[in-house]
Amino acid sequence: MNRSTITLIVVGVIVLILGFTGCGGYNGMVSKDQDVKNAWAKVQSQYQRRLDLIPNLVNTVKGYADFEKSTLTAVIEARASATKLTVNADDLSPEKIKQFQASQGQLSQALGRLMVVSEQYPDLKANDQFLSLQAELAGTENRISTARNDFNDAVKIYNTAIRTFPAVLFSGMFGFKEKGFFEAEAAAEKAPSVKF
């Protein structure tokens, strides 16, 4: 064998190794991207469940004439605002996740105010339908928390995969971008004060 043949064989082997590494890396990134999209769909499903509960909750509360109308209006407006913002699973950038989280956070705050104000109405607190909806809402909040944690886990695995060697060589070329995480709410960093 002459020198040019050996060089050609070595180059061919290197190209094959890079090709197999690139294909394997690409397929792995696609799989992890699909895991993130699946986790995002579960997050959206739980938020949709909460949105679907709100009209029933509002209608139950409306039956009590003395109830504060401004609180109900705030819940209805926050729900409408939350339904306007949708985030496509193909664009889960950190900015989009923050926007989505802020919109849902406003709804959470409005619902929290609704629950606090409802404490002032003993008849409402004793209403079976209200208690059932309140329990469903609490269960849904737990499901949302679990879905968000699962989403963050999938994003961590995906982001790590596209940023490690050798996948980092191919991820940008194939359009794989870092995805955003759900983060703690701004008020979550302060522990609530308990006074007796």
Cα 87 to Cα 7, 99, 172, distances in angstroms: 51, 9, 22
Q: Report yes or no: 137 and 145 within 8 Å, Cβ to Cβ.
A: no
Q: Does domain 35-147 have CATH number 1.20.1440.20?
A: yes
Which comes out higher in pLDDT, residue 25 or 12? Answer: 12
* pLDDT at residue 122 in the model: 78
Q: What is the pLDDT of residue 67?
A: 58
Q: Which of 19-28, 88-97, 118-127, 185-194: highest mean pLDDT?
A: 88-97
Cis peptide bond upstream of 192, omega within 30: no
Q: What is the pTM of this model?
A: 0.79
